Chains A and B, each alone.
Chain A
């Protein structure tokens, strides 16, 4: 079957989709967006977390046909998404009227290594505040859980700019990390929240 939906602000079409296929499979294998990770395939680990009409969901538990006509934001589009949000104000539902991220841009973002920018520090590579905070706090080790955590943490900060530790733990409770022990991930979210606060301080925001 054919499935048409919006990915990172751009309308996309996937053809020959098997009816039992997950959104995760469509993103990774049909659209070339491997940012959302395929780990447990049963909603346990959160590595495949994406925004569906603004809501964080496990893309492995969404049937491809269910996203027809709906809006998906993946980690590849997170930087643009966060930028649009910052420029156009709160926007939970998806695109915020921006131009969106093309599939090629999204693939390029994922593949942009040293040379065009420093992948360690994120210099010259466009990052969302939460992505930068993960790098700065050393919250990434093997990196497999990172995309899901970024999407979940970004959504937390969108609806709660000053989350308590309990809020952070709860918001990230559906994302498993087997390397970090979570401490630096929590640090990263606190850091992003603190930076967000200092940026908006005095602006009346």
Chain B
């Protein structure tokens, strides 16, 4: 094994071009476990910790450019207003120790359906900035996840940043696990209201081969809110609408039975989380001047 220590982004791209099999390592949450347990012996390990830009974020007028290695702790502490859904999801990642090192780039690189950031990213919408010596491209989040632990990146590419719209409405995130800390999601659900376009976006984790959106549920809900004039009136969402939304969210799942939970349970739980998180975001939308809110709530 060789250990590559690029001191700059350009050096990292050059190294990745020269050694396409090199495994990038930043927070080590996934990579080190695989090496410790002898599940993986990469020929080259490439440390990204030396590249300072990756740990920086910029807040623009409408978007946040979040460096791939910005630790979850920083997202929780500094970007709660701009990215409330991702901040909530970040808070459920593993433990303080892991959150101090891990970032969204790792979740995206590994592309496990259980990655905690994915439902929030899907619900927010946004683009992944990837780059190689051949050039830079922006991959829409909806096109990023291709299969179990497969993403849309080429072998010579590295994730540099994630570009996310600043929240214009409430966002929520919910995750099922056996305890609060240190759990891989049995399943997870993210929801974001986008009042400026009168749309709703969602993200489901751990209940399909990839993170997915519940598109039918989104379309149904947007139509029901529009039809009922809810965006303008802020009137409560009828129980029947919430119920239908939950059912459609369940239907968007394509889960498996595994040690963490059965497929049936996952479908059920995703429906429950869809209904609850919808209730939370709608309460925020009605309640606090229609601004983004990301405060933690209990069901």
Q: Determine how close the nearest CB of chain B comes to the CB of A173; give it in whole angstroms.
A: 3
Among B33, B37, B96, which residue has its beta carbon within 8 angstroms of that of A171?
Answer: B96
Report chain B residues within 8 Å CB of A41. Answer: 33, 36-37
Interface residues of B in 81-110 (CB under 8 A from A): 94-98, 100-101
Report chain B residues within 8 Å CB of A44. Answer: 182
User: Is B170 among interface residues, defined by CB-CB distance under 8 A?
Assistant: no
Q: Tell me whether A46 and B95 are in contact (CB under 8 A).
A: yes
Q: Tell me whether A170 and B35 are in contact (CB under 8 A).
A: no
User: Is B298 among interface residues, defined by CB-CB distance under 8 A?
Assistant: no
CA distance A152 to B95 in the complex (A): 11
Q: Tell me whether A174 and B37 are in contact (CB under 8 A).
A: no
User: Is A196 among interface residues, defined by CB-CB distance under 8 A?
Assistant: no
Among B36, B45, B97, B100, which residue has its beta carbon within 8 angstroms of that of A19?
Answer: B45
Contact A22-B36, Cβ < 8 Å, known A61-B28, A63-B47: yes
Q: Tell me whether A61 and B47 are in contact (CB under 8 A).
A: no
Q: Tell me whether A61 and B45 are in contact (CB under 8 A).
A: no
Q: Determine how close the nearest CB of chain A comes to the CB of B172; give it in whole angstroms.
A: 20
User: Of all chain B residues, which has the CB nearest A25?
Assistant: B36
User: Is A58 among interface residues, defined by CB-CB distance under 8 A?
Assistant: yes
CA distance A57 to B94 in the complex (A): 12
User: Is B1 among interface residues, defined by CB-CB distance under 8 A?
Assistant: yes
User: Is A66 among interface residues, defined by CB-CB distance under 8 A?
Assistant: yes
Convert A45-84 into 0s and 1s, putting 1 for each residue whose CB lies closer than 8 angstroms to a CB of B.
0100100000111101111011010000000000000000
Convert A152-182 into 0s and 1s, putting 1 for each residue whose CB lies closer than 8 angstroms to a CB of B.
1000000000000000001101111000000
CA distance A174 to B29 in the complex (A): 13
CA distance A174 to B73 in the complex (A): 14
Contact A22-B96, Cβ < 8 Å, known A65-B5, A65-B45, A174-B182: no
Interface residues of B in 1-59 (CB under 8 A from A): 1-3, 5, 25, 27-29, 31-33, 35-37, 41-42, 45, 47, 49
Report chain A residues within 8 Å CB of B49. Answer: 66
CA distance A152 to B41 in the complex (A): 31
Q: Determine how close the nearest CB of chain A comes to the CB of B22; give it in whole angstroms.
A: 12
Report chain B residues within 8 Å CB of A57. Answer: 97, 100-101
User: Is B180 among interface residues, defined by CB-CB distance under 8 A?
Assistant: yes
CA distance A189 to B233 in the complex (A): 49
Report chain A residues within 8 Å CB of B100. Answer: 55-57
Among A42, A65, A173, which residue has its beta carbon within 8 angstroms of that of B33?
Answer: A42
User: Of all chain B residues, which has the CB nearest A173?
Assistant: B181
Q: Determine how close the nearest CB of chain A comes to the CB of B275; give it in whole angstroms.
A: 27
Contact A56-B96, Cβ < 8 Å, known A19-B1, A41-B37, A173-B181: yes
CA distance A62 to B181 in the complex (A): 20
Contact A22-B32, Cβ < 8 Å, known A66-B49, A173-B180: yes
User: Is A43 among interface residues, defined by CB-CB distance under 8 A?
Assistant: yes
Q: Tell me whether A58 and B3 are in contact (CB under 8 A).
A: no
Report chain B residues within 8 Å CB of A60. Answer: 32, 36
Report chain A residues within 8 Å CB of B31. Answer: 63
Q: Tell me whether B33 and A61 are in contact (CB under 8 A).
A: yes
Contact A19-B98, Cβ < 8 Å, known A42-B33, A61-B29: no
User: Of all chain B residues, which has the CB nearest A64?
Assistant: B3
Q: Determine how close the nearest CB of chain B comes to the CB of A67; give it in whole angstroms.
A: 9
Q: Tell me whether B25 and A173 are in contact (CB under 8 A).
A: no
Contact A20-B35, Cβ < 8 Å, known A62-B28, A63-B28: yes
Q: Determine how close the nearest CB of chain A comes to the CB of B116; give it in whole angstroms.
A: 14
Q: Tell me whether A58 and B45 are in contact (CB under 8 A).
A: no
For the complex with contacts A43-B94, A46-B97, 15 further pairs of A-B residues with Cβ separation under 8 Å are A1-B3, A20-B1, A22-B35, A22-B36, A41-B33, A43-B29, A56-B97, A61-B27, A61-B32, A61-B98, A65-B5, A170-B96, A173-B95, A173-B182, A174-B95
Q: Can you report 30 residue pairs joining A to B where beta carbons are below 8 Å apart?
A: A19-B3, A20-B42, A41-B33, A41-B36, A41-B37, A42-B33, A42-B36, A42-B37, A43-B29, A43-B97, A44-B182, A55-B100, A56-B97, A58-B98, A61-B33, A61-B98, A61-B101, A63-B25, A63-B28, A63-B31, A63-B35, A63-B45, A65-B3, A65-B47, A152-B97, A171-B96, A173-B95, A174-B95, A174-B97, A174-B98
A→B interface (CB under 8 Å): 1, 18-20, 22, 41-44, 46, 49, 55-58, 60-63, 65-66, 68, 152, 170-171, 173-176
